Chains A and B, each alone.
Chain A
Amino acid sequence: MDLYLPIAEMPVSVLLVLAMGAAVGLISGLFGVGGGFLMTPLLIFAGIPPAVAIASVTPQIVASSASGAYSYFKRGQVDLKLAAILIVSGAVGAVAGAELFAILGREGQLTLVIAISYTLFLATIGGLTLKEALGAIVRNRAAAKRGERPKSARRAGAHVWVHKLPLKIRLRRSRLYISVLPIVGLGVSISFLGTLLGIGGGFIMVPALIYLLKVPTSVVVGTSLLQIVGVMSVATVMHAVASQTVDALLAFILMIGGVIGAQFGASLGQALRAEQLRALLGLLVLAVGLRFALNLVVEPGNLFAVTVIAP
């Protein structure tokens, strides 16, 4: 069954898009990540123009994070002040990201920038995750041989410089008294990247909040989810205004698929160990990164790129 997408102006197979949404939803439920970094590449590889793919995945991220953010909020596991600073600074990053996105589109360089960014980004994140997870697996095996209980993964050392910055504020819910500067820095940079690449950025935000700002783990996930909902909402509106490439129909099909897939993923996730999950996620991220790298390095079949600038 094919459906005509009004903004992409092309027909796509509903089942294919639904299946991709469900597959990514499954993975996001399994690993507890947003899945934007997989959804966007999948759509691009399936032939959706990168501009439409990124701008339409953005609202899908809002949908997949909204219910989680709401339930964390109800349980009081959100630092509202921290989330508000992240969202306000994130809005600045989102506006800049959407503007750059529109300019790159007009210059016909969007596809290239996306491919390079994804390659670097996914290879780094995937490599680090895999290394850390494999290390944990090896350590646990060794510990099990010695008859000890497996130890939890190492905690990062104290980042003293973060706590020496000026403009300190009190975050009551997180029981922190820290400078506002690293928070704003994180908010701006992650949402800039997220808007440009169509990713929520939860999988960078969560470790950054834990290791860099020492935010207690009890509020980290809820705060990060609320931040994603806020920033990706701003990013959706900005994309709709700046490049007009948000396809509501495509986004809606992805949302439906994602919501369904996430449920299966969550129950599947219970059956696997945390390190194994992280190793699998690392492999997956690395594989998508390599796929992008291959496109960049291998001589393309068609040596010309045709971009429609204005309708």
Chain B
Amino acid sequence: MRQLCALLALLVATPAAAETMVVALSRAKVEVSSNFQGTELALFGTIERDNQTVSRAGRYSIAVVVLGPAHDVLVQQKARRFGLWVNASGTRYQSIPSYFAFLTTDQNPATAAEALLDANAGVAPTVHRFVRDQDPYFAAFREQRQAEQRVIIRGNGVAKLTGRFFRAIIPLPGLVDDGAYRVRTILMRDGVVLDTNTLIFRVAKVGLEQTLFAVSRERPLFYGLGVVLLALVTGYVGGVVFRRR
């Protein structure tokens, strides 16, 4: 009986798949100051294996999904009306990630996205949409965001350094929204999810930028009056300094 209990405990303690992951980010916070023009974060991870499991390093596939804070976007198609190009029919996307990165060990990110969907991974619908949605409005949105480096889809974006050790570089452009960024790492083998891990890093303005932004959102009336005061003082001082003779 005692032996049976021990066996049960062992079974509970050991997950069905014996591989787990340890993942870390190079930074937990990205500070946006006045000279911010974009940066990079490095993600490092190792695959931990218990003694019973045979090493099959070559067949692991790893996907890293980064989702920035959500915002609403309106995509409109331009059309010629009365000889003028106007914004005509549009589609609204509610709470869509302002930043999206999909980095995989696979050469083809589309296959990796397909595999995630088949394995029923949590972020799969979002990934599938960003990688494969062919709707013209969404495609236009994706194209613009790719040009701004706010949508990054990169096969071979996760590099296996050794059989167990991997690294991914997450590029952040100068044009990023403030807030929490979720980094989801998914370890798979043969179409089965072995382990997942979620890390969070924050993007926050610091110094003057942060103060100005916060005041403009939380106390807009005060902010507006402050800008007017700044304008009056600058105008007056400018007039005094450069007084025309």
Binding site for B on A (CB under 8 A): 1-4, 6-7, 9-11, 59-60, 62-68, 70-71, 108-109, 111-112, 116, 229, 233, 236-241, 244, 246, 248-249, 251-252, 255-256, 259-260, 262-263, 266-267, 295-300, 302-311
Q: Smallest Cβ distance from B39 to chain A, in angstroms? A: 12
Report the stretch among B1-9, B101-109, B119-127, B211-219 that lies at the interface.
B211-219
Q: Is the CB of B244 within 8 A of A266?
A: yes
- Complex formed: what's the CA distance from A236 to B228 in Å? 7
Interface string of B17-33 (1 = CB under 8 A from A): 00000000000000011
Q: How many residues of B contact A (CB 8 A)?
A: 61
Residue from A11, A111, A255, A307 in contact with B174 in the complex, judged by beta carbons closer than 8 Å = A11
- Write the chain B residue with the least CB distance to A67: B239
User: A7-B213, A62-B235, A237-B221 known; 5 other A-B pairs, CB under 8 Å?
Assistant: A63-B238, A108-B90, A112-B87, A299-B80, A308-B73
Q: Is the CB of B87 within 8 A of A111?
A: yes
Q: Is the CB of A65 within 8 A of B34?
A: no
- Complex formed: what's the CA distance from A60 to B238 in Å? 12
Q: Smallest Cβ distance from B162 to chain A, in angstroms? A: 38
Report the stretch among B49-57, B136-144, B153-161, B186-194 that lies at the interface.
B136-144
Query: What is the interface of chain A mostly: helix, strand, loop, or mixed?
Result: helix
Chain A hits for B230, CB < 8 A: 59, 63, 248, 251-252, 255
Interface string of B201-240 (1 = CB under 8 A from A): 0000100111011001100110111111011101110111
Q: Is the CB of B174 within 8 A of A299?
A: no
> B199 in the interface, Cβ–Cβ < 8 Å?
no
Chain B hits for A1, CB < 8 A: 35
Contacts A236-B224, A241-B221, A249-B212 given; indicate if A108 touches B235 (C-beta within 8 A). no
Q: Smallest Cβ distance from B95 to chain A, in angstroms? A: 9
27 contacts between A and B (CB under 8 A): A1-B35, A4-B36, A4-B209, A6-B208, A62-B231, A63-B235, A66-B232, A66-B239, A68-B239, A70-B236, A112-B87, A233-B231, A233-B232, A237-B224, A237-B228, A238-B224, A240-B224, A244-B217, A255-B238, A299-B85, A302-B140, A302-B144, A304-B75, A304-B144, A306-B74, A308-B73, A311-B69
